[in-house]
Amino acid sequence: MGRLTDRVVLVTGGARGIGRAIVETAAREGAAVAFFDLDECAGTALSGGLEEGTARVTFHRVDVTDSGAVEATVADVLAVHRRIDVLVNNAGRNVYADPVAMTEEEWDKVLDVDLKAAFLCAKHALPSMITQGRGSIVNIASLHAKLTCAGMYPYAAAKAGLVGLTRSMALDVAQHGVRVNAVSPGYIRTALVDEYYVDSSARSRTRTSASRGCEVKSYHSSVQAHSADRWAVAGWAGSSTWTRPGWSGGWPAKRVPRRSP
């Protein structure tokens, strides 16, 4: 019997990377899993593969920044499973810009996925959690919420906002037995990070900064090794709320060259 037997887990951005590892872990732990993603091909392949192994996993093609679509799809999940026990707000994107060149539209796109979507998904999942007097929300933030490099503007702002949202929401829903935690990974080698390393213009923008510490050797090479138990401790199994564990691959320990003012 797994740690999540009889639980219903909803994961956003579950088709690949960290989200995929969370979907696979939750299914292995016995949960019924629903996951949202834009990537229809990867989402369908993942749910099909897991269901062959008898896991109860459903993929929903949803843009988590679309309030109406989130509301309708959360309602679909509730119609099937009757409740949501765990929501993992994982969908996210990187951006490589600077404050002068960045357009307002680009800003909105980043903040919508990395911050607003967590609010939207929580807004529609919370009523079910509040009714049952129990629930857990896990927001996947980032080490960049506290420590960042030049050239990744405004990812750090969005992730710091997500940590603030976690704190605020944890206080508001604790009275209903709902816990809200954030997890702040360091670099984990997923497609998101690989895309950064093939984007030479992004690399050149970050080269003079703290990113000197972000060499490939400091990546966690395995998503699996750094998801299952830590996320479980943070949000699934325990009684904690408003925690924000992070792990960094040693990045913060590296010496960052300082310039004279």
Ligand X SMILES: NC(=O)c1ccc[n+]([C@@H]2O[C@H](COP(=O)([O-])OP(=O)(O)OC[C@H]3O[C@@H](n4cnc5c(N)ncnc54)[C@H](O)[C@@H]3O)[C@@H](O)[C@H]2O)c1
Question: Would you name the residues annotated as active-site residues?
Answer: 155
When binding is defined by CB under 6 A, the residue of 8, 9, 10, 18 that contacts ligand X is 18
64 makes contact with ligand X (CB under 6 A): yes
Give dist(CA 197, CA 75) in Å, integer: 39
Identified binder of ligand X from the candidate list 110, 113, 138, 180, rule CB under 6 A: 113
- The amino acid occupying position 253 is A
The footprint of ligand X on this chain (CB under 6 A) covers a number of residues equal to 27
**Smallest distance, ligand X to C-beta of residue 1, A:** 29
Dist. CA 244–CA 258, nearest whole Å: 28
* Separation of alpha carbons 45 and 8, rounded Å: 21
Answer for which of 4, 8, 9, 16 binds ligand X (CB under 6 A) is 16
Piece of 1-9, 31-39, 45-53, 95-103 that binds ligand X (CB under 6 A): 31-39
CB 131, min distance to ligand X, A: 26
**Nearer residue to ligand X within complex by CB, 6 or 215:** 215
Burial of 75 (0-12, 13-18, 19+ CB in 10 A): exposed
E strand spans, the chain: 8-12, 32-37, 56-61, 86-89, 135-140, 178-185, 246-247
- In the complex, minimum distance from the CB of residue 175 to ligand X, in angstroms, rounded to a whole number: 28
Q: Please state, as a whole number, how many other Cβ atoms lie within 10 Å of the Cβ of residue 203.
A: 15
CA distance 67 to 56: 26
* Of the candidate residues 3, 93, 244, 254, the single one contacting ligand X (CB under 6 A): 93
C-beta of 212: minimal distance to ligand X in Å?
17
* Contact between 15 and ligand X per CB under 6 A: yes
Nearer to ligand X, 179 or 187 (CB): 187
Contact of 244 with 184, CB cutoff 8 Å: yes
Q: Which of residues 22, 26, 84, 91 is near ligand X by CB under 6 A?
A: 91
Site string for ligand X, 177-196 (x = CB under 6 A): --------x-xx-xxxx---
Distance between CA atoms of residues 19 and 248, nearest Å: 18
**Contacting ligand X within 135-164 (CB under 6 A):** 140, 142
Q: Which two tokens stand for residue 230?
A: 């830590």
Residue the block writes with tokens 């999940």: 77
Which positions from 201 through 240 interact with ligand X, judged by CB under 6 A? none
Candidates 47, 65, 73, 206: give the one binding ligand X (CB under 6 A). Answer: 65
Q: What letter would DSSP give residue 255?
A: P
Q: Which residues pair with 178 in a beta bridge?
A: 135
- 127 vs 120: CA distance, rounded Å: 12
Q: By CB under 6 A, is residue 122 in contact with ligand X?
A: no
Residues that bind ligand X (CB under 6 A): 13, 15-19, 36-39, 63-65, 90-93, 113, 140, 142, 185, 187-188, 190-193
